[in-house]
Amino acid sequence: MSLGDLWAIMCRRWYFMVPLTLLSVLAGGYLNRTIPVSYQSQSSVTLLDSSAVARLAPTFGNPISNAGGSLVVTADVLIRTLQSSDSAKELHDRGLTDRYTVGFAPEADSPLLTLSVTGTDRAKVLRETTTLTKFAGEQLKALQAASKVPTVYAVQTAPVVLPQTPVAQSKTRYQDIAAVVIVGVVSAFLLSILAEGVAVVRRRGRAQAGYVPRRHRARSTERAPRGLLVRRLDATTILTGYLVLAFFVPSNLTLPALGGVGTPANVFALLGLLWYLATWLGGRIRPAEGTRLPRVTMCLLAAAVLLSYLADATRDSSHQEVLGADRGLIGLAVWGALVVLASAGIQERSRLEVLMRRLVVMGTVVALIGYYDFFAATNIADSIHIPGLQSSTAGISAMDRGSFTRPRSTTAHPLEFGGMLAILVPFAVHQAFDPVRRHAGALRRWAPVAIMAGALPLTVSRTSIIGAFVAILVMVPRWKPQRRWAAIGIILGSVAGFKVIIPGLIGTITNLFASFLSNSDSSTQARTVKYSAIVPYLHEHPWFGRGFGTFTPDLYFFTDNQYMLTLAEMGFLGLIALLALFVTGIHTGGAIRRLARTESDRELGQAFLASALVALVISATFDALSFSMYAGMFFLILGAGGSYLGFVRREAAAATVSAPRKPSEVQLPELVESR
């Protein structure tokens, strides 16, 4: 279905589009006049250690008194206390009736707290912020007094930023207005498409009965119309547009109203889902046969996310957590759109192969940008500014490890950069070996493999090396001996080449794993401590979690482990759904390899299997689904695997039906004794 077809449908169903659009615009204007402007004031306090820190300090058997320590645990306990219902009730009695938030200051490694109050009365907001700041100090004293901490070891609060003059917060107001207008327009569009689908079904019934209305009779044309609006769109075209936006627009640039999930690529994916629904309801497309498994798994993930959203609604969550849960629903819709478009929307195998080639080519370009970041010691993404978009994170300086700059290209973090390349390399290897592409020449086939695989060590991270090792371990043993030994030789030669070209890089990576195995690495120790810190949150909500998207670093801490983060946000049900995604990818790859009738298809199945196993393993090394580009590539590959499996199944079934039987397989009629 082309853009011109969609426009024609909306014109024919004007009785849905016009009234609902006008109602949504009027509702937006009404909200603009009735919703008051809110104001926000902030203050910051820090925790100061006791005056007796110079002497050996006892711990008093509790985490509240931590003289000489980092005081982060103390600050976390104070935040929990201020967010409790008892504190909210007492603050209400003191006159704080507006919404307030308490959390760690962004990008702060010290026990620095940010207190904020949001309301519609500017003078009242300022008074309430002062009350909240004073109340925080009183609560810290009360906590230590209840634990019988001597005064000499008591931790103190010190205001760093006094309550600021309230600033108007128009963003939330405009978001509400935009949401009403968007919901109205989208509802009108879907109703129009639904009405068109009903009309198509009725026309098919009349056509079967032999009746064809004049306005629906075929008209002979001398030439087909041309132009952008009448050009046929398919799922491959939509997903190509998504890849362009995902790879070449830095993932930290988002629409101001949507936060971290509002990247242009995610918005385009949602529009692509609307296109698919319109095409499906209009009778122009049907889900491909044998591709249901990825979509069923996505339904399980959706159930886990929705149940965690309800769990978040039943507890006293902060305003930031509510916004995080809303963003989680948007992210789920984006992932579902990618899986649906890739698995059900692609109707021709040739178009799916085109999509996978484009995926590898664009990944190669992103890897080349990473080379520039590494050797120029910079972040090229920070120099990209697009009007209308703003950075969803604070400015990230070039990250170093040892004497090397860790590249991140257009991704948000070097871990995301390395993880994304690790799940793409198996497909680059498959396309390099594919006999169908031998006409392209060795350089065109093997350059993506060399560029993406060579960029993995440049990230100077264990995640990249583990991902590469898993891919090698899965793919190389399945090759023929000649190819296998050649690959091992190339890998060893590449390691030697890195030692010569970039001195110290291999040694730095080796030291990372040595310190990890000896448990002497500070980052490893920090992650181990976080694992135990997740347990209290899991005990509070073991089955459905605290809410998908609510366990943000601004309020809590980085988990650096997708499994731990899933347990905190979605509980055990969410962990089962996450594992089901990986198992689906592994099963898809294995099934493609088992049913394949050509060596190329068998290697393709092995590539899908390797990619899924890489994702399974490296998800334990960073919070993978929190990064939009990596998550998008994972779900796109998951849907593409389901689509390939459908094609392979249909080809195998067709070959079974058309294959002639051997003489030995022909069943002879059974002879019975006559009586």
Q: What is the DSSP string of 295-353?
A: HHHHHHHHHHHHHHHHHHHTS---HHHHHHHHHHHHHHHHHHHHHHHHHTS---HHHHH
Most confident region among 94-108, 343-357, 650-664 by mean pLDDT: 343-357
Rounded to whole angstroms, the Cα distance separating 1 from 349 reads 19
Statement: residue 533 has pLDDT above 80: no
Q: Could you read off the pLDDT of 473-484 as tens digits, one per residue?
A: 999 998 888 889
Statement: residue 49 has pLDDT above 50: yes
Residue type, 270: L
Average pLDDT over residues 151-156: 79
Rounded to whole angstroms, the Cα distance separating 612 from 638 reads 8
- Can you give the length of the chain in residues? 675
Which DSSP symbol is given to 159?
E
Rounded to whole angstroms, the Cα distance separating 81 from 31 reads 36
Q: Which residue has the tokens 């050797």?
A: 375
Residue (of 235, 212, 334) closest to 287 by Cα position:
235
pLDDT class of 107 with cuts at 50, 70, 90:
low
pLDDT class of 241 with cuts at 50, 70, 90:
very high
Label residues 538-568 b or e (16+ Cβ within 10 Å = b): beebeebbbbbbbbbeebbbebbbbbbbbbb
Q: Could you read off the pLDDT of 69-92 as tens digits, one per residue?
A: 567 778 888 888 888 878 888 888
* Residues 498, 454, 442: CA angle, nearest 5 degrees: 110
pLDDT class of 199 with cuts at 50, 70, 90:
confident
Statement: residue 588 has pLDDT above 70: yes
Cβ–Cβ under 8 Å, residues 245 and 334: no
Average pLDDT over residues 281-301: 86
pLDDT class of 60 with cuts at 50, 70, 90:
very low
CA dist list (Å): 217 to 11, 197, 202, 232:
20, 18, 15, 21
Q: Which residue has the tokens 């690495």?
A: 521
Residue (of 433, 287, 427) closest to 356 by Cα position:
427
Rounded to whole angstroms, the Cα distance separating 151 from 369 reads 56
Average pLDDT over residues 160-177: 75
Cβ–Cβ under 8 Å, residues 271 and 316: no
Most confident region among 101-115, 122-136, 209-223, 659-673 by mean pLDDT: 122-136
Q: How much is the pLDDT for 660?
A: 58
pLDDT class of 109 with cuts at 50, 70, 90:
low
* Lowest model confidence (mean pLDDT) among 163-167, 400-404, 507-511: 400-404
pLDDT class of 334 with cuts at 50, 70, 90:
very high
Residue 468 phi, psi (nearest 5): -65, -40
Pairing mode, if any, of strands 253-254 and 390-391? antiparallel
- End-to-end Cα distance, the chain: 69
Rounded to whole angstroms, the Cα distance separating 557 from 568 reads 12
Q: What is the pTM of this model?
A: 0.74
**pLDDT > 90: percent of the chain:** 29
Label residues 24-44 b or e (16+ Cβ within 10 Å = b): beeebeebeeeeeebbbbbbb
Q: How much is the pLDDT for 62?
A: 45
DSSP states along 596-648:
-SSHHHHHHHHHHHHHHHHHHHHTTTS-GGGSHHHHHHHHHHHHHHHHHHHHH
Statement: residue 494 has pLDDT above 80: yes
Q: How much is the pLDDT for 369?
A: 93
Q: Quote the mean pLDDT of the chain.
A: 81
Torsion of CA 106, 112, 118, 121, to 10 degrees: -130
Q: Which residue has the tokens 């920090």?
A: 526
Average pLDDT over residues 226-246: 79
Neighbouring residues of 627: CB distance < 8 A, sequence distance ≥ 6: 251, 411, 412, 413, 415, 416, 419
Neighbouring-strand partners of residue 46: 112, 158
Statement: residue 104 has pLDDT above 90: no
Rounded to whole angstroms, the Cα distance separating 341 from 639 reads 8
Residue (of 378, 420, 379) closest to 246 by Cα position:
420
Q: How much is the pLDDT for 534?
A: 80
* Lowest model confidence (mean pLDDT) among 13-17, 214-218, 317-321: 214-218
Average pLDDT over residues 656-673: 55
Q: How much is the pLDDT for 204?
A: 62
Q: How much is the pLDDT for 540?
A: 82
Average pLDDT over residues 226-230: 50
Cβ–Cβ under 8 Å, residues 464 and 453: no
Statement: residue 492 has pLDDT above 70: yes
Q: How much is the pLDDT for 641?
A: 94
Three-state secondary-structure class, residue 63: coil
Rounded to whole angstroms, the Cα distance separating 414 from 309 reads 30
Three-state secondary-structure class, residue 47: strand
Average pLDDT over residues 20-48: 79
Q: How much is the pLDDT for 173?
A: 67
Rounded to whole angstroms, the Cα distance separating 154 from 51 reads 8
Pairing mode, if any, of strands 38-48 and 112-119? antiparallel
Statement: residue 210 has pLDDT above 60: no
Exposed/middle/buried for 659, CB within 10 Å: 0-12, 13-18, 19+? exposed
Q: Which tokens is 256 given?
A: 């101001």
Q: Which tokens is 35 given?
A: 């919703």
Radius of gyration over alpha carbons of the chain, in Å? 29
Q: Could you read off the pLDDT of 563-577 as tens digits, one per residue?
A: 999 998 999 999 999
More confident residue, 342 or 228: 342
Statement: residue 675 has pLDDT above 50: no
Residue ranges of the alpha helices (H) in 35-152? Answer: 72-83, 85-93, 122-146
Statement: residue 58 has pLDDT above 60: no
Q: How much is the pLDDT for 363?
A: 94
Average pLDDT over residues 51-75: 54
Three-state secondary-structure class, residue 168: strand
Q: How far is CA 6 from the centre of its chain?
A: 29
CB count, 10 Å around CB of 334?
A: 25
Q: How much is the pLDDT for 322?
A: 83
Average pLDDT over residues 238-264: 86
Neighbouring residues of 125: CB distance < 8 A, sequence distance ≥ 6: 39, 40, 41, 98, 117, 118, 119, 166
Statement: residue 4 has pLDDT above 80: no
Statement: residue 21 has pLDDT above 90: no
Q: Could you read off the pLDDT of 351-378 as tens digits, one per residue?
A: 999 999 999 999 999 999 999 989 888 8
Statement: residue 672 has pLDDT above 70: no
* Lowest model confidence (mean pLDDT) among 134-138, 199-203, 466-470, 586-590: 199-203
Rounded to whole angstroms, the Cα distance separating 655 from 543 reads 46
* Residues 348, 353, 354: CA angle, nearest 5 degrees: 95
Exposed/middle/buried for 158, CB within 10 Å: 0-12, 13-18, 19+? exposed
Q: Which tokens is 493 given?
A: 């030669």
Residue (of 239, 275, 237, 283) closest to 640 by Cα position:
239
Residue ranges of the alpha helices (H) in 477-598? Answer: 481-501, 505-517, 522-540, 562-595
* Lowest model confidence (mean pLDDT) among 163-172, 443-452, 579-588: 163-172
